[in-house]
Structure formats: structure tokens, C-alpha cells
Chains A and B, each alone.
Chain A
Amino acid sequence: MKFGVVVFPGSNCDIDCYNALRDVLDQDTEYIWHRTKNLGSYDCIVLPGGFSYGSYLRGGAIAKVSPVMDRVVEFVESGKPVIGISNGFQVLVESGILPGAFLRNNNMKFICENVYIRTESISTPFTNLCGKGQILRIPIAHGDGNYYVGDETLKRMEENNQIVFRYCARDGEVTDASNPDGSLQNIAGVCNREGNVLGMMPHPERCMEEILEGRDGAVIFKSIINYLKGGAVNG
């Protein structure tokens, strides 16, 4: 099984995702330059965080017209898993693969800190090893993470179990105080209708080792590996 980490000009968590998969989880992993036109050999694509194209215009807006994104769309259609983290989530939203859009954090500042998120859906390739409602402590680092989606779409997403993570307090309660950036309904991560694409603002690759910020992030990548090995998807 092989993971591919896309590198856009300005990606800067590409190396972190690569190290997390290769060094911590011992997975075959390669970088994918944004001009690549063939994703045939990969089993899972990671769109990493950072500031693709400087996040000029809007986060992810220019990356969506990179040559590799046409291939990513095909990859998604083939049903294989794709995870977008932070700026990678923005790219997925801008390219229409995931619903919604991002606004500036409601305090208008970049925020880097550990937050808690509650797993709202465990029936995805990315959360199949999570317990129901499992609380994860994961860092965020973004200036434009304020998730927005229209009412009707939101309703459909809820019906389809597409809300995967919500920001919450340490004890799991979803409160205004635990919402770091003003995201609608504390949404921290969503998937597409088919469930094979996850976008999340928090950075699981940053918390996979005890020397860093704990290990809560590993469960997400381990879930993907489990899924790719044919392990059961919950529910």
C-alpha cells in the first residue's frame, strides 16, 4: 500500500505528513509534485497543510487549478481515500470536492494551539478505529479556519453523517467557548457524501509521538491503513 503526499508550491506540512507516515507508521510514502499527471500507483492521497500559493486570493483557491487536482478528482471518483488537512481541506473545499467554504477566524488572528475535537462519525475510512464520540487532542494552526456552509447543504450533510469532527471542550461538550475560530456548529472536519474524502482543520500529523503533542493523531492514519487492509468500517 502506498501513500502520496501532494506538494504544492507553498505547502509546508508536506514533510510532516511524509515523516508521520513513513517514520512513525512505517508506510511506503512518496511526495507528489503538483504538476504530476498520474496518481495510478497510490492507495491514499494526502493534501497537506501550509500556504499553497501563499494562500493568496483565498486559502486553496489557486491550488485548485494545479494540474494534479484534475487527477485528484479522478482519484476521488475511483473511491480511494483522500485526506486534506488544514490548507489541504481548503483546497478540497475550493475545488468543490467537499462542501462549504472558509472565512477568516472570527478573532481575525492566526491561532496555533491544542484543541479538543469529538468524533461525530466513526463510519469513515479515517475514523474506523475511533470509539463513538472519541475525544482527540490535536493542534490547530490556521488563520482562515472558520468553516461555513449554507443551511440546506448543512442539513443534507447532517443527514448523510458527513460531519466527522466538532470542536469541543476537554470533556467532549460542544460549546461556544471550545470553538476556536467561529466555525459553523463547531465543525472541524467533514467528509463527502461517499465518505472517501475527509477534510479537517486540525493537524493529526503533529501529534503522533510522545515527544511532540501526544499521540492522538495517529488513530486517523491508522484507520486509513486499517481500511486499506480491508478492515471493517464501523456502522
Chain B
Amino acid sequence: MDKKPYERVGLTFEEYERIVKMLGREPNGLELNLYGVMWSEHCSYKNSKQVLRVFPTSGDRVLQGPGENAGIVDIGDGLAVVMKIESHNHPSAVEPYQGAATGAGGIIRDIFTMGARPVALLNSLRFGELESDRTKYLFENAVAGIGGYGNCIGIPTVGGEVYFNDCYRGNPLVNAMCVGIIRHGDIKRGTASGAGNAVMIVGASTGRDGMGGASFASVELNKESEEKRSPMQVGDPFLEKLLLEACLELFETGCVVGVQDLGAAGLTSASSETASRGGSGMDIDVSLVPRRETGMVPVEVMISESQERMLVIVEKGREEEVTGIFKKWGLNSSVIGRVTDDGMLTIRDGDEVVGSVPAKSLAEDAPIYYREYKEPSYLKQVGVLDERGLEVPDDLNGVLVSLLKSPNIASKEWAYRQFDYMVRTCTAVTPGSDAAVVRIRGTNKAIALTADCNSRYCYLDPATGGAIAVAEAARNLVCSGAQPLAATDCLNFGNPEKPGVFWQFRQAVSGMSEACRALDTPVISGNVSFYNETDTDAVFPTPVVGMVGVVEDISHITTQGFKEEGDVIVLLGENTQEAGGSEYLKVVYGLERGSAPKLDLDREKRVQGCCLELIRGGTVKSAHDCSEGGIAVALAESCISGEIGAKVELEGCGREDLLLFGEGQSRIVITVRQSDLERVKDAASRFGIPVTVLGRVRGKELIIDIAGQRGIQMAVKDMETDWREAIECIME
């Protein structure tokens, strides 16, 4: 059966009727396509908008919340951090190198569009278990793509996370985050105002690449899409480097009224969104857009997703300043139209008007859906965990080795070694610690950055899992010596039209919101990626949290490695025995079940507050958060990274395996000088949190005794080999 024209652009009959009613007439073919791309989930957030309203998005330090190209948060001294995370999942599933590369390219443009110089990239990558050649291919090429783009453009890739789980086999997730620094007075916005001002397109020329990529990103992938390669864009990091330098030079002239990058839905979204934000209209002529292919029709120019292009609104009469700067950098810049005051986006092809619709109707008037939601039935089954059926392993050393070798815990050096994480000579803490730390030139400050999400917890309990993602991100920043300031999120879920998936989405957002409120880290930007499912399986709910914190003095920068023989190892927080959702349960018993670890946000806040106060007081020599693999893995990592051993005694009765490997929350392992121990105990008592002396840094082995019995005894060198080489062994 033939599809109706509106169906072919991904619209429903109701949506089509809505358009007809708004226009008071039927849209022509071009116009219909504009609505198709702008009203897709990817551009309109029609399925998620209502839910996202629960996020806290404001605060004393927030200079720009959601709704712009990126969020902005104040870090003092007249400076601010610009940040955003975004998904490029579907393109990466088809063509991982270009998908990941253009993901990096797009998020970088979002940052310098705001007027900021990008200073760091992070990423969150998820693939199936590293068993099949296809998964290795995806992992290898996504990593190469991120490196290929970031290294060339000269922005250090300083951190991130990589997880492997079967649920991502058909749906890899590639989320890219970028962070920039800006002076308050230099902030630019994506606004077109002032009738008569020039609308200019700058950067690369326009081709048919990425055609319809926006709609492509909002449909489920099936076998066919492996063959549909035409929608892919190809990145040119060299061109983007020139575009970045040219734009920053241009902004200094003061002639720019507004600016927006051409991302999803290309010129259509950039023109309609800037006009809509400015309460203006826009009159553009597609025949003036520089092209790299012949025979392109107006609709192709309007929805092309060719990379490395920007739309710049320039004060009338100053167009030549723009042309001059772009010429210096060897780039195109063309006036393609003018800002108007009639609210209409009018599109011409030479003399002929080929379409004219209200700009706001494209950018803001997509329907908002209140999707059905229902607790999915799987939860009842996976929530049950009978620990009595799980025999405590005899060989706990063996378990520690298996965990250190598990790709989810093992060193990610194989990947980050391919990223230039040092360029710009500001990376004070390089990949592999709790958070990356980047110094701010001209100040005594630094920023700490992280991206986190344990999606297994979210699968078992989306609300708690979402809250833990926020709490862990903040905890990682605190361990590095930073005060967490703000979050950006990338919400990766399955098909929202399925009530079970939508329930997960609502729960995760509500858990994250609660944690963001408790920890005072508003959400200032973000991205939703739905339809991460193949014919049969959806991904685990994966709400990735990117977070930034400020290190008030670079002397506060703290790393996870143990420092000196004789230092006292102290646990802030409480060692519980929670098995649910742990990597231990997965690696040893092959189970992904139970309850997600409990999270008491009040306790979390106090543990973090105590740790940060101690760090700022100069007491803490190392700090490391306990996460996957529990306290045993945390201690092992601190030994490995400090190249020194430790002797530890764990208290508590019950199962020693869960004492060692359980993933209870709100725990930080710190080391201090013996003489500072009382200060630590005082602080803990003031903050009202449990504190336990675990042992001392010493020797060349990690020794953990439990209730007087030897639990773990391993040479640091051996642990390091297992941990460092695991992923490389699988990949090479």
C-alpha cells in the first residue's frame, strides 16, 4: 500500500491536520518536509518535553539553562563553563567511525556557537560484550572516529566511560560531551533579531550527505538500515578547526547578532529556531547557498546535514567583515537572506517563493505527547535475588582478578591512548582517574569533568539508577577536589511509544531530578535519544550524566592513587553488603538481578561535603569513589595507580564476598597522614557520617583481611598487568 505524503516524512494524520489548521491551507511538498524533520522526536522532543520539565534547571550560577545550543554555568572570576552532551547512536551503529567522528564534530560546534573556546571532550560509549567481531569492529572504529576528529581539531579528549553489555549489541551508544570556557560578556545566543540584518551561511558547502538524518534518527533500526548508508555524514575536522578559529575571531568584532550551528535538520532548524527565539521571521534564498553537488532541489538544501556549517546573523552593513575573516581562513561565507519582522520563514529559489510558514510553528509548535506508561513486567522477575543460592567462592583472589579483567572495570587505556588528551597543555588529571581535571589559564582554578551512568542499576530500578548516575558523577568530581556545579544529560532509551519504555524514562528522569536537587547540580543542557532498539531488544535505560565542578585552587587537585608508605586508609561512608546489580554478580554468577544499591541522598551529600572539606583543608592525599567491583576494586585501583601496596582490615560479619565486592553507594576511600586522622574523625562527626580506619598504605601487595581472616593477597604488579592488559588482549 502506498504511504501518504505525510507518512513518508514521518508525520501522523493528526500531526498533518494540525499543520493544515495552523497554516489555514495544505502545505506544499517542501513545507511538509520541513515539518517532517522539525517535528521528529530528535528536533522537537515531542515525546519527552513534558517529562523533562521536572528537571531543576536554574540556580545562582546558571547563566544559560536548556533550550540553547549548550548550557552555561558560572565558575567565578568572570568566567563560565559551557557544556553539553549529545548522542550519535544511530549513525554510529551503521558507520561507527564517521558516526562517532561527526558526533564529536557536532557537539564541538554546539560549544563554540555559544562563543566559547572548546577546551575538553568526553565520551560515553556502550557496546555489546566484546565477543563478536561485529562488536569489536564497532568499538574499534567508534574509538578511532572520536580520536580522528578530536585529535585533528586539537581539543583534548580527557575522559569518559566505556561499558559493555549484551543489551547494546545491536544498539551501541555513542554519546559525546564537550566543554568550553567563556567570559560572561562574550556569550552568544542562537537568536535572529533586527529586521534587515543579514543571514549568512558560513563554513563548508552543502551537499546531499546526511539527507534526512533527522528522521532517520527517530525510527527504529532494522536490518535494512545496515544497507542505508546514504544518510551518513562525513566529518572534516580540519575544516571545523578553521571554522572554529574563524568564528571566534568573528565574534570579537561585535557584529554578530546571533549564531547557530547546522546540526540535525540543517538549515531548516537553524533558520526556524533562530527566528523563533528572536520573535522574528526570516527570508532566505536557497539558490545563494554554496553547494558541492549539482542539481540539488530546494528541499535538499533545506534539510541537508552536511557538516561544519554555521548560520550567522550579522548586523546589516557589516557583512564584509565576515567575508574578510572567513576568506582569511579559506572558508565560504554567503549572505543567503535577511531577518524580517513578519514571523514567517520564507524560502525562495531565486525569484520564486517556494515555501512560507510561520518560523515558530516549525520550531516550537510540534504536538506534545503524553505517552502511556506502565511498569514493565520484567522488573518483578529480575528484582528477585536469592543470595543463599549463591555459594561464596573459595578463591577471592581469583574473583578480584576476574573483576579487574572485566572490560567494564579494566583499564580503558587501549581506547584513551588513541585520544590526544594532553593537547592545549591544560590537562592536570588525565584519563583513568575519578574525573578529568583541566586547569583554567590565567587563574588558580581548574574544572573537573566526568560522564557516568551504571545502566544495570537503571535496568533494575530506573529511578534509583538515575539518581545514582547523578550521585556518582558528583562523587567523582568531589574525589578530584571539585565542587559539583551543574549537569548535562544524554537520555538513551528504547521506543517511547511502548509503555514500559516510557515508564523507565519517567522514572529515570524523576530519580535524576531528585538527586540533582539534593546535590545542587541543576541540569543546564541535554539530549534525548529514543528508539535505541532493534527488532527484539531495547537497551537498558541509560541516562548518562555529564557533570562539571570547579576546583577553587589547583592545590586541591586530588587523584585516586595511594601516595606514601604509612598513610592511613580511611573509608568515608559505610561498607554495606549489597549484591544487587553488581559487576561481581554478573562476572561470577552471570546474573543481572536484585535491587539496585540503595541511595540515601542526604547521606550522599554529607559524605561528599565531608570529603571536599577535608580536601580543601589539605588533609587528603588520595581519594577514590567505590563503584563497580566494590571496595576491593577501589583499593586495587588506588594501589595500581599509586604503584604501592596496602594492608586493610574490613569489619563486619556475613558474606565476605559482598563486603569486598558489593556496590553500596556513598562511599569514598581516602588516605591521610597519621597525624591528620583526628581531623578526619572530627569532620566526619560534624557531617554525621560513618568513618572507618581501614588500614595503611604499605609494601608491594594488596592485603585485605576480613574479621581476622585473610581475604585478598595479591602483588600490585600482578593486579596491574591483569587490569591494564585485559581490553588490549581482547582487541589485538
Contact = CB atoms under 8 A, between A and B. Distances in A.
A–B contact with Cβ pairs below 8 Å: the answer is yes
Interface in B115-155: 144, 147-148, 151-154
Contacts of A16: 423-425
A9 B329 contact: yes
B151 A212 contact: no
A206 B238 contact: no
A23 B307 CA distance: 36
Contacts of A12: 152-154, 241, 423
Contact of A109 (B154, B329, B418, B554): B418
Given A51-B238, A53-B238, A112-B417, A10 B424 contact: no
A211 B439 contact: yes
Interface residues of A, number: 31
A50 B153 CA distance: 8
Contacts of A143: 151
Contacts of B153: 12, 51
A50 B154 CA distance: 7
A213 B420 CA distance: 14
Nearest to B239: A54
B421 interface: yes
A109 B152 contact: no
A29 to B, nearest CB: 14
A110 B441 CA distance: 27
A58 to B, nearest CB: 14
A110 B427 CA distance: 19
A6 interface: no
B727 interface: no
B237 interface: yes
B365 interface: no
A15 B418 contact: no
B364 interface: no
Interface in A26-75: 49-51, 53-56
A110 B151 contact: yes
Contacts of B688: none
A212 B330 CA distance: 34
**Interface size band for B:** 20 to 34
A110 B147 contact: yes
B468 to A, nearest CB: 31
A13 interface: yes
A51 B152 contact: yes
A15 B420 contact: no
B242 interface: yes
Contacts of B241: 9-10, 12, 51
Interface in B335-394: none
B423 A13 contact: yes
A50 B420 CA distance: 10
Contacts of A112: 151, 416-422
Interface string A186-202: 00000000000000000
B424 A110 contact: no
The residue among A10, A16, A113, A203 with the most chain B CB atoms within 10 A of its own CB is A10
A110 B418 contact: yes
Interface in B220-251: 236-239, 241-242
Contacts of B239: 54
B599 interface: no
A12 B154 CA distance: 5
Interface in A201-225: 203, 205-206, 208-209, 211-213
B238 A54 contact: yes
B441 A19 contact: yes
A20 interface: yes
Contacts of B330: 9
A211 B422 CA distance: 12
B238 A56 contact: yes
Interface in B391-433: 416-425, 427-428
A139 interface: yes
A212 B238 contact: no
Contacts of B236: 54
Interface in A142-158: 143
A9 B327 CA distance: 12
A233 interface: no
Contact of B425 (A55, A56, A111, A206): A206
Interface in B145-179: 147-148, 151-154
18 contacts: A9-B242, A9-B330, A10-B152, A10-B241, A13-B423, A19-B425, A51-B151, A51-B241, A54-B237, A109-B417, A110-B147, A110-B151, A110-B418, A112-B422, A141-B151, A209-B425, A212-B425, A213-B422
Given A50-B154, A112-B418, A141-B151, 6 more contacts: A51-B154, A51-B237, A53-B238, A54-B152, A112-B416, A113-B417
Q: Which 4 A-B pairs have the closest CB atoms?
A: A12-B154, A54-B238, A51-B152, A141-B420
Interface of A: 9-10, 12-13, 15-16, 19-20, 49-51, 53-56, 109-113, 139, 141, 143, 203, 205-206, 208-209, 211-213
Interface of B: 144, 147-148, 151-154, 236-239, 241-242, 329-330, 416-425, 427-428, 439, 441, 554, 557
